[in-house]
Structure 1
Amino acid sequence: MRRGARENLAGWLFVSPVVLILGLFMLLPILMALWVSLTSWNGQGSPFKGGVPFVGLDNYARLFTEDNLARENFMISIRNNAYYVALVVPLQTALALGLALLVNSRRLKARTFFRTAFYFPSVTSSVAISVVFLFIFSNSGAVTQLLGYLGIRGPQWFSDPRGIIHLLFDDRAPVALQSEGPFGLTWWEWLSGPSVAMCAIIALVVWTTSGTFMLMFLAALQDVPVSLEEAALLDGAGRWQRFRYVTLPLLRPTMFLVLTLGLIGTWQVFDQIYVMSQGNPAKTTLTPAYLSYRTAFRDFDYGAGTAISFVLFLIIVLLTLFQRWALRERRA
């Protein structure tokens, strides 16, 4: 046996335990779930034995082509999650970068204390924090009562199903937006904006996730060569110019990592929705991950629920590839 062949064989022998574990606990369940998405399994018995109707791509077709409640719920969940992603990812990234710049400053005293304080919400149970936020933003909670005293909103503001854009226009839809839009929803429904309840969940998530991304940016900032900062300072560059032309380009790999993890995490949001709202009020906090769970484990339509999860997986992959293309390094 040649030396190269022996090295390849030795390499496969070393990685074979990991390959077997990943194949047994990741690849095999994914393939099993893919089969379930092609059936109408109701959770009784085994989906891999005879007697379970095979429906092919009908579960996927119901989400896009058929005019029914399943498509309406799925499109509402996609709309809600799109607003959620569009707000959470930029806010948490900007806040994490700002906090990292703050605690990396040599002028800041007690930097260890502030690093710990900013990171603490990230290691706290998301369920526990969601319960606390639920009490604060409930109809009798502190925030609701405070806004009621200020005359900003009434005591039922958290239960208002209208989006914030609807609230700004006092729910008067322009005639041009009342026509039917893509996938069975009107343009006014697509452009409603997140509800107040979803905005509360967005505030919760931004607060709890920024600490983790702050540590990633902080590690990258500490790897920036001091000589580059000093050279830019000697060349007369101001603080903003040093950040824009020296620091920020060196943070590109970390920025891509933070945006990618944020994108994946926001499209998979589930626990905050499950604890705080369960899709209410009026489906304005319904997300694809929670809809998949509800369809499978409450409506006992495991095929459709699994199909939703695979569509969500495809959305995440496509958006990640697009983000990688958009943030790639371009030659001058």
Structure 2
Amino acid sequence: MRRGQNLAGWLFTAPAILGLGVFLLAPIILALWVSFRDWSALAPLGTSTPVGVKNYHDLLVRSGIVQTDFARSLRNNLYYVLGVVPAQTALALLLAVIVNAKLLRGKTFFRTAFYFPSVTSSIAVAFIFIFLFSPNGVINAVLSALLPGTVDTVWLNEADGVLHIIAGWLGIESGPSGGNIMGLSAWDWLSGPSIALTAVMILAVWTTTGTFMLMFLAGLQNIPEELDEAALIDGANARQRFFRVTLPMLRPTLVLVITLGLIGTWQVFDQIYAMTSGGPQKTTLTPSYLIYREGFENSAMGRAAAIAFILFVVILIFTALQRLVLRERD
């Protein structure tokens, strides 16, 4: 009977395993194989030639435009991650706490309103943001009133880094010489997100916060009320109850939200494609968009596959770091 049950279990799971193998595992293995070859994707795969680790060498070691562009994409995406993940996590938690409040009226309306941007087409939202940041847009009208002389400014075409702008206000126009890393100087690495990339970051926070709010809301509703009541009886105020009771109980949800946020932000593509196409001056270029550009515009599919696997390693490292920081302690 046990052997029969095992056989029946494998038969029931076989379609799912077969689907995962054909449409997930096999493409990953094939892409890894392609990353060690020179293939234009315009000819049959059998015509590709082996190049060893050349694609990885060009990206990580060999000086040139390929390495510099890859370094720029990593720099831009790093600032994107550091800006978006904390903002969307904190804002989602704040909205979840507000919506979960017992005295709040119209909870269904607020949940729907906060979640609505997450189910809207990202391309449609991107085009709306293009209009908002145009010279005749609402945001430009507000900024023009606050910053005279910016009436005709196209903010999505501004390539200056935010940290460089702040340093310029303090009289710092350039950094120390040297410190070249992957073709970029230390001053370039410390530029901060460009104004154009900052606009994309605002869009990302606005469109993703609603989804993470629902996750936090589910976590809040799973916390037993007896814990909060016991802390209240012990004399804890609202702030102490939140940081000593509620937040520790939300640790699994917090780990999930930050993990999904890290993966999503390191794979950002659609907003970049629709709003800036990697410009201006490659300050919104990201690894995911660089994969598209190398593979489909430059016909270097082997290099594009190599970028994808380097990005995979980067995501693993950041995910492991956040799990290390948020691990449970005695």
Q: TM-score range by the shorter chain?
A: over 0.9
C-alpha separation in 1, matches of 2:210 and 2:254? 15
What is the CA-CA distance between 1:40 and the residue it aligns to? 1.1
| TM-aligned CA distance change 1:173 to 1:4, over 3 Å | farther
In structure 1, the gaps of 5 or more residues are none
- Residue 23 in structure 1 maps to residue 17 in structure 2: no
Letter in structure 2 aligned against 1:164: V
The percent identity for this pair of structures is: 50
Instruction: Report the equivalent of 1:109.
Output: 105
Aligned residues, how many? 327
Instruction: Report the equivalent of 1:63.
Output: 59
What is the CA-CA distance between 1:84 and the residue it aligns to? 0.3
Instruction: Report the equivalent of 1:329.
Output: 328
1:139 to 130, 135, 145: 135
C-alpha separation in 2, matches of 1:192 and 1:78? 13
| TM-aligned CA distance change 1:153 to 1:122, over 3 Å | farther
In structure 2, the gaps of 5 or more residues are none
C-alpha separation in 2, matches of 1:140 and 1:294? 31
Instruction: Report the equivalent of 1:221.
Output: 220
| TM-aligned CA distance change 1:270 to 1:153, over 3 Å | farther
* Residue deviations 1:180-205 (CA, integer Å, cap 9, x gap): 33212111100000011111111111
* Residue deviations 1:41-71 (CA, integer Å, cap 9, x gap): 1122221x2x321111100110110001000
Letter in structure 1 aligned against 2:32: L
Letter in structure 1 aligned against 2:279: N
Letter in structure 2 aligned against 1:318: I
What is the CA-CA distance between 1:153 and the residue it aligns to? 5.9
Instruction: Report the equivalent of 2:317.
Output: 318
Instruction: Give the TM-score of the pair, scaled to structure 1.
Output: 0.94
- Residue 265 in structure 1 maps to residue 264 in structure 2: yes
* Residue deviations 1:240-298 (CA, integer Å, cap 9, x gap): 11111111111000000000000000000000000000111101100000011011111
3-state SS of 2:38 partner: coil
Instruction: Give the TM-score of the pair, scaled to structure 2.
Output: 0.95
Letter in structure 1 aligned against 2:77: N
What is the CA-CA distance between 1:9 and the residue it aligns to? 3.6
3-state SS of 1:134 partner: helix
1:183-198 aligned within 5 A? 183-198=182-197
1:135-214 aligned within 5 A? 135-151=131-147, 154=150, 155-156=152-153, 158=155, 159-170=157-168, 173=172, 177-214=176-213
| TM-aligned CA distance change 1:15 to 1:291, over 3 Å | same
Larger mean Cα displacement after TM superposition, 147-156 or 71-80: 147-156
2:117 to 117, 121, 140: 121
- 1:147–1:153 Cα contact (<8 Å) kept: no
Instruction: Report the equivalent of 2:70.
Output: 74
Letter in structure 1 aligned against 2:70: F
- 1:119–1:212 Cα contact (<8 Å) kept: yes
- 2:174–2:187 Cα contact (<8 Å) kept: no
